Amino acid sequence: MRYWLSIKDKLNDHMALALKLLLVFLGIYVFFMAEKHSILKTPIIFIGLLSWFFFRQKTKHPLIWIILALLLIFDLCFFYFRVANHHFLLTFVVLSIVLYYYHQRVSILLKNIQMLLFIVVVASAFQKLCSSQFMSGEFYYYLLNRGFAFDLFHPLFPDVLEIAKDNSKRILELQNTDPNLRQQIVIEDVIPNLEGITLIYVWITVIVEFIVALALLLKPRSTWTHLLFITMIVGIICTRLEMGFMTLLAICGLLLCDNQKLKLVYVLIVMGCITLMVTKIGYP
């Protein structure tokens, strides 16, 4: 009981908790990205750490957030077409937090987070809807037959994994042949009726994303909205180990959530994703 009360105290100040979790995530993310143009980033990181260590109590400026924003913008400028999709969202979230330290209005910060989440989810749904490859089920069909989806469940279905490995081997062998020979291979479905199953999963994915986007826009504090949002996040984690993106979505959800139990679920998702990201089981 005593431990639960301690957890509840932390969850009551969910904004402070969310910012701490975001700092942890940013530290790990910056570490993964640091090797790209590391020489140019070194003075930024060094001066940032020096300023934060010696002057954080003597200035009203959010030094650590400003330095992190600079590093994110740096990567955005040099790797615009190669950074992950969530890098853009992360940059805007950090900039929103930097501005919050100056205007000190929680309502503005939460509105910014709400609109960022809405734009990201609705844009994702529209992007899928406009992709003939995705809507036909070909995208998931290819991933599943090569074992690139539902990684968490592979140990439970070794037979399926063996078929996927065999398919991948055939595809790699085909890629190494002369294309003028026009050779063909036959891919074995990892499970029966896979084509129909992927088509159903595609439409469920798009419909859920549109519903979540609408709920975030109209009822960002509703318990039902966050239940749907958490379901979407867990569904994505089960499909692909996109730990960086899911960590960021869960932190944003935590900022908007009022329900104590759902706040705890968000925290557990964040910690689980960070753990998988650090151990390199998932993608940053």
The predicted structure's pLDDT at residue 57:
64
Does 135 reside within a domain?
yes
| For residue 49, pLDDT beyond 90 | no
The 10 Å Cβ neighbour count of residue 281 is 12
The predicted structure's pLDDT at residue 119:
93
- The Cα 48–Cα 139 span in angstroms is 42
Does 2 reside within a domain?
no
Does 5 reside within a domain?
no
Buried b (16+ CB within 10 A) or exposed e, 253-279: bbbbbeeeebbbbbbebbebbbebbee
Does 232 reside within a domain?
yes
| For residue 221, pLDDT beyond 80 | yes
Does 165 reside within a domain?
yes
The predicted structure's pLDDT at residue 99:
92
- Label residue 226 by pLDDT band (50, 70, 90): very high
List pLDDT tens digits, range 54-106.
766 666 777 788 888 888 888 888 777 777 788 888 999 999 999 998 888 89
CB 140 within 8 A of CB 203: no
List pLDDT tens digits, range 30-41.
878 777 766 777
- Structural domain boundaries, residue 157: 13-278
Residue 42 identity (one-letter amino acid): T
Q: How far apart are the first and last CA of the chain?
A: 35
CB 101 within 8 A of CB 62: yes
Token output for 141: 């069909």
List pLDDT tens digits, range 100-135.
988 888 999 999 999 999 999 999 999 989 888 888
The predicted structure's pLDDT at residue 113:
93
| For residue 266, pLDDT beyond 90 | yes
Residue with the larger pLDDT of the pair 52 and 32? 32
Using a 10 angstrom Cβ sphere, with 0-12 exposed, 13-18 middle and 19 or more buried, the burial of residue 102 is exposed
Average pLDDT over the chain reads 83
List pLDDT tens digits, range 156-195.
777 777 877 887 787 777 777 767 767 777 777 777 888 8
CB 63 within 8 A of CB 55: yes
- Label residue 253 by pLDDT band (50, 70, 90): very high
- The Cα 28–Cα 228 span in angstroms is 28
Total domains present in the chain: 1
pTM: 0.88
- Label residue 265 by pLDDT band (50, 70, 90): very high
Residue 91 identity (one-letter amino acid): T
Token output for 181: 């020979």
| For residue 230, pLDDT beyond 90 | yes
Q: Which one, of 249, 146, 271, 142, lies nearest residue 195 by Cα? A: 142
CA dihedral 265, 267, 273, 278 (to 10 degrees): -150
CB 229 within 8 A of CB 212: yes
Does 4 reside within a domain?
no
CB 213 within 8 A of CB 253: no
- The Cα 241–Cα 193 span in angstroms is 24
Does 48 reside within a domain?
yes
Does 194 reside within a domain?
yes
